[in-house]
Amino acid sequence: MRREHLIIAASRWRGSLPQARRSFVLLLALILPVYAADFQEEARDIIARRCLGCHGPKSKVAGLDLSTRETALKGGSKGPALQPGAANESRLVARVEKGEMPPTAPLPLEERQTLRRWIEAGAAWTEAIVERRAGRDWWSLQPLLSFAGPASVDHWIGAALSAKGLQLSPEADRRTLIRRLTFDLIGLPPSPAEVDDFVGDVRADAYERVVDRLLASPHYGERWARHWLDVVRYAESEGFERDLLRPNAWPYRDYVIRSLNEDKPYLQFAREQMAGDVLQPVTHDGIIATSFLVLGPVGAVGLT
């Protein structure tokens, strides 16, 4: 049951049994503090994500610091930011409801309602809110270090499973294994002959041989090119009302397939698409690759 339903139920209780009414009130007394704590965390999370970038202890735009209850009640140059128990009289709610704050984009309805209900409930605030922003100690900003750990990721997977009392699934049988591998790498099922060959292959490197064969298949590039083409919004028509055909779009599609099948280095792949017509030496692939720059949808209404 949502917390507001509990409050409504308490206010509308019309039972005739005094003992039942006292029991219900006692139940609310036990449950509502838990909901209030959750409510406070939701509101704190919204303020941390949406507000502290401008109204934190360092920036204090318009003199307003929303990191603590005291500074929020003190407010900034235009007065207190909130009035506990009176959301309609709170400047924070007014600015949010008008879409004026945050200036980047209006808050979703659910977040606006959370702030309103939190303030109506008294704006409980137990400790300072800290802005969630990566600092110089953020993991992705640290220099790469050598790590003499296990060579296989299976070690970490196994450790995580063991911590939860779980085990690895048993190894798949050979027929299942080659079907999974073939569908994954080329998007097609293996032929009956390919299945039989793998099942009967007793060599220690039988699996690796199948992997190498599939990676060398032209179907590998066809299968995985689809993901890149989706990312760059490749289409063979313009879209919108007229949806005019692009009869010369296919060379770019084939370029992506060819690049994957040739195991082209990603850096070269990216450079060719951004400036392949000027990179030296200029190549046929480089010129085709720059189609990347004009792949998006085009509104042709009024152009023809």
Distance of CA 279 to CAs 192, 215, 254, 265, 269, Å? 47, 29, 20, 15, 12
Residues 260 and 220: beta-carbon distance below 8 Å: yes
User: In whole angstroms, what is the distance from residue 294 CA to residue 275 CA?
Assistant: 13
User: In whole angstroms, what is the distance from residue 61 CA to residue 100 CA?
Assistant: 14
Digit-by-digit pLDDT tens for the chain (304 residues) are 444 444 444 444 444 445 555 554 454 454 444 444 556 778 888 888 788 778 888 878 888 888 888 888 888 888 888 888 888 888 888 888 888 888 777 888 888 888 888 888 888 777 777 766 556 666 777 788 887 777 778 888 888 999 999 988 888 999 999 999 999 999 999 999 999 999 999 999 999 999 999 999 999 999 999 999 999 889 888 777 777 888 888 999 999 999 999 999 999 999 999 998 888 888 999 999 998 888 877 766 665 5
| DSSP structure string for 2-29 | -HHHHHHHHHT---S-HHHHHHHHHHHH
Is 182 in a helix, a strand, or coil? Answer: helix
Residue 49: per-residue pLDDT: 79
Structure tokens at 13: 């209780």
User: In whole angstroms, what is the distance from residue 157 CA to residue 86 CA?
Assistant: 51
User: In whole angstroms, what is the distance from residue 102 CA to residue 59 CA?
Assistant: 15
pTM of the predicted structure, to 2 decimals: 0.50
Residue 222: per-residue pLDDT: 96
User: In whole angstroms, what is the distance from residue 267 CA to residue 284 CA?
Assistant: 18
Q: Report phi then psi at 38, rounded to 5.
A: -65, -40
Neighbouring residues of 119: CB distance < 8 A, sequence distance ≥ 6:
82, 83, 84, 85, 86, 87, 90, 92, 93
Structure tokens at 197: 């060959």
Surface-to-core class of residue 90, CB atoms within 10 Å of its CB (0-12 exposed, 13-18 middle, 19+ buried): buried
CA torsion 12-18-24-26 (nearest 10°) is 120
For residues 96-132, one letter each, b for 16 or more C-beta atoms within 10 angstroms of the residue's C-beta and e for the rest, the string is bbeeebbeeeebeeebbebbbbbbbbebbbeeebebe
User: In whole angstroms, what is the distance from residue 131 CA to residue 56 CA?
Assistant: 7
